[in-house]
A and B are shown apart, each in its own frame.
Chain A
Amino acid sequence: MSSIIRSNPVLFVLFVQLFLSLLSSALAIAPASSDGYSISGRVKVPGLLGKVLGSPGGKISNVKVILNGGQSITYLRPDGYFSFHNMSAGTHLIEVSAIGYFFSPVRVDVSARNPGKVQAALTETRRGLTELVLEPLREEHYYEIREPFNIMSVVKSPMGLMMGFMLVVVFLMPKLMENMDPEEMKRAQEEMRSSGVPSLANLMPGTARSN
Chain B
Amino acid sequence: MAIRFFLVVLLFLSCTTPSFSLYEDQVGLMDWHQQYIGKVKHAVFHTQKTGRKRVVVSTEENVVASLDLRHGEIFWRHVLGTNDVVDGIEIALGKYIITLSSDGSILRAWNLPDGQMVWESFLQGSKHSKPLLLVLTNLKVDKDNVILVSSKGCLHAVSSIDGEVLWRKDFTAESLEVQKVIQLHDSGKIYVVGFAGSSQFHVYKINALDGELLKHESATFSGGFVGEVALVSSDTLVALDATRTVLVTIVFKDGEIKFQQTYISNLVGDTSGVVMILPSTLKGTFALKINTLMLFIRVTGEGKLEVVEKVDHATVVSDALSFSEDKQAFAVVQHGGNKIHLTVKLGDDWNSDLVKENIEMDHLRGHVHKVFVNNYVRTDRSHGFRALIVMEDHSLLLVQQGKIVWNREDSLASIIDVTTSELPVEKDGVSVAKVEHNLFEWLKGHLLKLKGTLMLASAEDVVAIQAIRLKSSKKSKMTRDHNGFRKLLIVLTKAGKFFALHSGDGRVVWSLLLPSLRKSEACDNPTGLNVYQWQIPHHHAMDENPSVLVVGRCGFSSNAPGVLSFVDAYTGKELNSLDLAHSIVQVIPLPFTDSTEQRLHLLVDADRRVHLYPKTPEAKSTFEQEISNIYWYSVEADNGIIKGHVIKSKCIGKGADDFCYDTGNLWSIVFPSESEKIIATVTRKPNEVVHTQAKVSVDQDVMYKYISKNLLFVATVSPKASGTIGSVDPEESSLVAYLIDTVSGRILHRMTHHGAQGPVHAVFSENWVVYHYFNLRAHRYEMSVIEIYDQSRAENKDVLKLILGKHNLTAPVSSYSRPEVVTKSQSYYFTHSVKAIAVTLTAKGITSKQLLIGTIGDQVLALDKRFLDPRRSINPTQAEKEEGIIPLTDALPIIPQSYITHSLKVEGLRGIITVPAKLESTTLVFSYGVDLFFTRLAPSRTYDSLTEDFSYALLLITIVALVAAIFVTWVLSEKKELREKWR
Interface positions of A (Cβ within 8 A of B): 33-35, 38, 55-61, 64, 66, 68-78, 83, 85-86, 88, 90-93, 95, 97-100, 102, 104-105, 107, 110, 123-124, 140-149, 154, 158-159, 161-163, 165-166, 170, 200, 203
Do B857 and A163 touch (CB < 8 A)? no
How far, in whole Å, are A125 and B896 apart by their CA atoms in the complex? Answer: 18
Binds A, one of B78-86, B426-434, B543-551, B632-640: B78-86
Q: Does B802 contact A (CB under 8 A)?
A: no
- Determine the distance from Cα of A118 to Cα of B111 in the docked complex, in whole angstroms: 32
B455: contacting residue among A60, A146, A159, CB under 8 A: A146
Given contacts A70-B82, A170-B969, whether A60 and B116 have CB atoms under 8 Å apart is: yes
Are the CB atoms of B831 and A93 closer together than 8 Å?
Answer: no
B687 an interface residue at 8 Å Cβ cutoff?
Answer: no
**A143 to B778 alpha-carbon distance, docked (Å):** 32
5 closest A-B pairs by CB: A97-B857, A140-B896, A69-B833, A73-B81, A85-B122
A61 close to B115 (CB less than 8 A):
yes
- A205 vs B905: C-alpha distance when bound (angstroms): 54
List residues of chain A with CB within 8 A of the CB of B905: 57, 99
B141 proximity list for chain A (CB < 8 A): none
A158 touches B725 (CB 8 A): no
The answer to whether B122 and A149 touch across the interface, beta carbons within 8 angstroms, is no
A84 and chain B: residue at smallest CB distance:
B122
B275-315 contacts to A (CB < 8 Å): none
Chain A contacts of B3 at CB under 8 A? 200, 203
- Say whether A97 contacts B958, CB under 8 Å: no
Contacting residues, chain B, for A72 (C-beta < 8 A): 81, 83-84, 102
Name the CB-closest residue of A to B35.
A56
Please pick, from A142, A145, A203, the residue contacting B903 in the complex, using a CB distance under 8 A: A142
Out of A86, A88, A159, name the residue touching B122 (CB < 8 Å): A86
11 cross-chain CB contacts under 8 A: A75-B108, A91-B725, A91-B726, A92-B725, A97-B855, A142-B897, A144-B22, A146-B23, A158-B9, A161-B9, A163-B961
**Cβ contacts under 8 Å, A123 to chain B:** 778-780, 831
**Chain B: interface size category:** 35 or more
Q: Are B120 and A75 within 8 A (Cβ)?
A: yes
Select from chain A the residue with minimum beta-carbon distance to B456. A149
In the complex with contacts A100-B903, A146-B455, A93-B116 CB distance below 8 A: no
Besides the known contacts A56-B904, A100-B903, A170-B965, 17 further A-B residue pairs in the complex with CB atoms under 8 A apart = A35-B124, A61-B111, A66-B856, A70-B856, A71-B83, A72-B83, A73-B84, A75-B78, A75-B108, A77-B117, A92-B726, A95-B833, A110-B726, A140-B896, A142-B22, A142-B897, A154-B454
* Residues of B contacting A110 in the complex (Cβ-Cβ under 8 angstroms): 726
Chain A residues closer than 8 Å to B780, beta-carbon distance? 105, 123
B118 at interface, CB cutoff 8 A? yes
Find the A residue at minimum CB distance from B899: A142
**CA of A123 to CA of B108, assembled, Å:** 30
Q: Which residues 889-909 of B sit at the A interface, judged by CB distance below 8 A?
A: 891, 894, 896-897, 899, 902-905
Q: Is B944 an interface residue (CB 8 A)?
A: no
Contact B903 A56 (CB under 8 A): yes
Residue of B nearest to A85 (CB): B122
Instruction: Give min CB distance, A41 to chain B, whole Å.
Output: 13
Q: A38-B122, A143-B24, A163-B958 are in contact. Are A90 and B726 (CB under 8 A)?
A: yes
Q: How far is the CA of A35 from the CA of B82 in the complex (A)?
A: 20
Which B residues, 410 to 454, have Cβ-Cβ distances below 8 Å to chain A? 453-454
Given contacts A35-B124, A38-B122, A75-B120, contact A57 B831 (CB under 8 A): no
Q: A86-B105, A159-B958 are in contact. Are A69 and B726 (CB under 8 A)?
A: no
Instruction: Provide the bound-state CA to CA distance between A104 and B727, in Å.
Output: 21
* Chain B residues with CB under 8 A of A61: 76, 78, 111, 114-117
Alpha-carbon distance A66/B83, docked complex (angstroms): 13
A-B contact count (CB 8 A): 166
Alpha-carbon separation in the docked complex, A141 to B25 (Å)? 14
B31 within 8 A of A: no
CB distance from B947 to the nearest CB of A (A): 13
Query: Which of A58, A73, A107, A154 lies at the interface centre, i.e. has the most chain B CB atoms within 10 A of its CB?
Result: A73
In the bound complex, how far is the Cα of B184 from the Cα of A114, in angstroms? 47
Q: Is B628 an interface residue (CB 8 A)?
A: no
Nearest B residue to A92, CB-CB: B726
A139 CB, nearest partner CB in chain B, Å:
8
* CB of B119 within 8 Å of the partner chain: yes
Q: How far is the CB of B213 from chain A (nearest CB, A)?
A: 23
Q: Do B833 and A90 touch (CB < 8 A)?
A: no
Contacts of A148 in B (CB 8 A): 455
Residues A73 and B778 in contact, CB atoms below 8 Å apart: no
Q: Which residue of A lies closest to B26 (CB)?
A: A143
Least CB distance from A210 to B in Å reads 20
Is residue B630 contacting chain A, with contact meaning CB distance below 8 A? no
Q: In the complex, what residues of A have CB within 8 A of residue B80's CB?
A: 73
Decide: A143 and B23 in contact? CB cutoff 8 A. Answer: yes
Instruction: Please name all residues of chain B whose beta carbon is closer than 8 Å to the beta carbon of A69 when the two chains form the complex.
Output: 724-725, 759, 774, 833, 856
Task: Please provide the chain B residues from 935 to 963 with a CB less than 8 Å away from any CB of chain A in the complex.
Answer: 954-955, 958, 961-962
Cβ-based interface call for B695 (8 A): no
Alpha-carbon separation in the docked complex, A185 to B456 (Å): 49
Instruction: Tell me how far the C-beta of B131 lies from the nearest C-beta in chain A, rounded to whole angstroms.
Output: 16
Give the docked Cα–Cα distance between A55 and B899 (Å).
Answer: 15
B857 pairs with A64, CB closer than 8 A: yes
Q: Is B21 located at the chain interface by the 8 A CB criterion?
A: yes
Q: Is B832 an interface residue (CB 8 A)?
A: yes
Q: Could you tell me if A159 and B954 are in contact, using CB atoms closer than 8 angstroms?
A: yes
Q: Residue B13 at the A interface, CB < 8 A?
A: yes
Cβ distance B604 to chain A, nearest Cβ, rounded Å:
32
CB of B241 within 8 A of chain A? no
**Residues of A close to B456: CB separation below 8 A:** 149
B858 within 8 A of A: yes
Does B897 lie within 8 Å of A93, measured CB to CB? no
**Given A70-B833, A77-B120, A146-B23, does the pair A162, B726 have CB atoms closer than 8 Å?**
no
CB-CB under 8 A from B724, the residues of chain A are 68-69, 71
Nearest residue (CB) in A for B780 is A123
State A91–B780 Cα separation when bound (angstroms). Answer: 11
Could you tell me if A68 and B105 are in contact, using CB atoms closer than 8 angstroms? no
Are B856 and A68 within 8 A (Cβ)?
A: no
The reply to whether A142 and B896 contact each other, CB–CB distance below 8 Å, is yes
B126 contacts chain A at the CB level, 8 A cutoff: yes
Whether A77 and B119, one on each chain, are in contact in the complex, defined by CB atoms closer than 8 angstroms, is yes
A86: chain B residues within 8 A (beta carbon): 105, 122
Judge whether B5 is part of the interface by a CB distance below 8 angstroms.
yes
A residues within 8 A CB of B116?
Answer: 59-61, 78
Interface 0/1 of B187-227, CB less than 8 Å to A:
00000000000000000000000000000000000000000
In the complex, chain B residues whose CB is within 8 Å of the CB of A34: 124, 126
> Distance in Å from the Cβ of B778 to the closest Cβ of chain A?
7
Give the nearest-CB partner of B163 in chain A: A77
Min distance, Cβ B400 to any Cβ of chain A, angstroms: 29
Contact B903 A58 (CB under 8 A): yes
Interface centre among B78, B118, B856, by most chain A C-beta atoms within 10 angstroms, is B856
CA of A57 to CA of B77 in the docked complex: distance in angstroms?
10
**Given A35, A90, A165, which contacts B727 in the complex, CB threshold below 8 Å?**
A90
Point out the residues of chain B lying under 8 angstroms from A162, CB to CB.
958
- Which residues of A have CB within 8 Å of B891? 124
A140 to chain B, nearest CB (A): 4
Closest to B25 in A: A146
- B456 smallest CB distance to A (angstroms): 6
**A57 touching B120 in the complex, CB below 8 Å, given contacts A72-B83, A73-B80, A144-B897:** no
CB-contact partner of A143 in B22, B726, B857, under 8 A: B22
How far is it, in angstroms, between the C-alpha of A151 and the C-alpha of B90 when the chains are bound? Answer: 61
- Given A142-B22, A161-B9, also A83-B120 (CB < 8 A): yes
Residues from 763 to 815 in B contacting A, C-beta threshold 8 Å: 774, 776, 778-781
Give a binary string over B1-43; 1 marks a CB under 8 Å from any A CB, 0 the rest: 0011100010001000000011111010000000000000000
Q: Which residues of B contact A85 (CB under 8 A)?
A: 105-106, 122
Residues of chain B lying within 8 A (CB to CB) of residue A149: 454-456
Q: How far is the CB of B58 from chain A (nearest CB, A)?
A: 15
